[in-house]
């Protein structure tokens, strides 16, 4: 029996895949999609093969009502993608929840003996430890209340409020950003997927997971905004101490949406990191 199709949407750009080509695998955060990588993709496309993933339930990906939306579920699908496409020379990039999923994926590669596939790790405000849930995630854990908010206010106003709450300068949020993040929320099944993800966002085995971060022995860039209120800076400091080759870079006057708020500064930090840590042949 053939395997079920992956419930992901995967966009590709940049150089053709091949044995000597870097692969950049980008995982977005909660309630987002591959739209959030639009400022980074052109830069990475000049350096390698870029795969931007819409995780199950997000963006253009399928949104099945199967309840399987835990971080471990998302990570297993990404691991399937890695193996089905035989991806190598991977730089795994994750923002927020996508960063937590990236950590799961890295440990999954360790468990399966596939560590040579992973060359570098880049986490932007990655979810990594037990912490208070951001308000927009906490609200989604109450489906009736969040459904009422969406019905009364509409997706664009709800998303606008969520974006403004996450950034350092709310006045910088544009209509294009609001539309880009809100559009997928209108899709059938999107609301259920958001709620299912929120309800399972804290893994029951989180303490076991965090105790294993020391096994991820690849160069890791941890990029944080000093004024991040969604995944606070202490998470970055703790994670930098846990990862054997982790380096923390902090952007000033920046909140949770680093690629949105500081596109030039975040890209310069990425460029410096990639140049300092070329992949193994």
> What digits encode the pLDDT tens for the residues 24-41?
999 999 999 999 999 999
pLDDT of 3 reads: 66
pLDDT, mean over the chain: 94
Q: How many whole angstroms from its chain centre is CA 93?
A: 7
Q: Does 111 score more than 60 pLDDT?
A: yes
Mean pLDDT within 53-82: 97
CATH of the domain at 268: 3.40.50.1820
> What digits encode the pLDDT tens for the residues 230-279?
999 999 999 999 999 999 999 999 999 999 999 999 999 999 999 999 98
> Is 193 a domain residue?
no
Q: Can you say whether residue 224 is alpha, beta or left, with left for phi > 0 and alpha for psi between -120 and 50 degrees? A: beta
Q: How many whole angstroms from its chain centre is CA 226?
A: 19
pLDDT band of 126, cuts 50, 70, 90: very high
Nearest to 270 by CA among 40, 14, 15: 40
> Is 139 a domain residue?
no
Provide the H-helix boundaries in the chain.
41-45, 71-84, 97-111, 135-140, 143-153, 155-166, 175-182, 190-199, 206-210, 233-242, 258-261, 263-276
> Is 177 a domain residue?
no
Segments forming the whole domain that contains residue 86: 9-132+203-276
pLDDT of 136 reads: 83
pLDDT of 259 reads: 96
The total of structural domains in the chain comes to 1
Q: Which residues of 205-232 are buried (b: 16+ CB within 10 A; e: fewer)?
A: eeeebbeebeebebbbbbbbbebbbbbb
> Is 162 a domain residue?
no
pLDDT of 1 reads: 42
Q: What is the largest CA-CA distance in the chain?
A: 55
> Is 137 a domain residue?
no
Mean pLDDT within 203-207: 91
> Is 181 a domain residue?
no
> Is 82 a domain residue?
yes
Q: Look up residue 161 and give its two tokens.
A: 């409020």
> Is 216 a domain residue?
yes
């Amino acid at each position: 029996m053939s395997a079920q199709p992956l419930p992901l949407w995967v966009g590709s750009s940049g150089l053709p895949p091949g044995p000597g080509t870097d692969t950049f695998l980008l995982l977005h955060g909660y309630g987002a999609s591959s739209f959030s990588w639009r400022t980074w993709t052109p830069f990475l496309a000049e350096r390698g093969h870029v795969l931007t993933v819409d995780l199950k339930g997000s963006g253009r990906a399928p949104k099945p009502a199967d309840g399987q939306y835990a971080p471990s579920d998302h990570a297993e699908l990404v691991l399937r993608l890695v193996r089905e496409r035989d991806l190598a020379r991977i730089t795994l990039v994750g923002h927020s929840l996508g960063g937590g999923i990236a950590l799961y994926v890295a440990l999954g590669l360790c468990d399966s003996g596939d560590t040579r596939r992973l060359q570098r790790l880049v986490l932007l405000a990655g979810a990594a430890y037990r912490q208070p849930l951001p308000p927009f995630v906490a609200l989604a854990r109450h489906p009736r209340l969040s459904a009422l908010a969406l019905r009364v206010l509409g997706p664009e106003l709800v998303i606008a409020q969520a974006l403004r709450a996450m950034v350092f300068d709310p006045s910088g949020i544009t209509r294009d950003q609001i539309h880009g993040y809100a559009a997928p929320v209108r899709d059938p099944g999107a609301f259920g997927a958001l709620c299912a993800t929120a309800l399972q966002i804290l893994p029951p085995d989180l303490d076991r997971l965090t105790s294993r971060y020391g096994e991820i022995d690849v160069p890791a860039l941890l990029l944080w905004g000093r004024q991040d209120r969604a995944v606070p800076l202490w998470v970055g400091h703790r994670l930098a101490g846990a990862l054997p080759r982790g380096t923390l870079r902090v952007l000033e006057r920046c909140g949770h949406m680093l690629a949105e708020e500081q596109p030039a500064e975040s890209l310069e930090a990425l460029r410096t990191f990639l140049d300092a840590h070329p992949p193994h042949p």
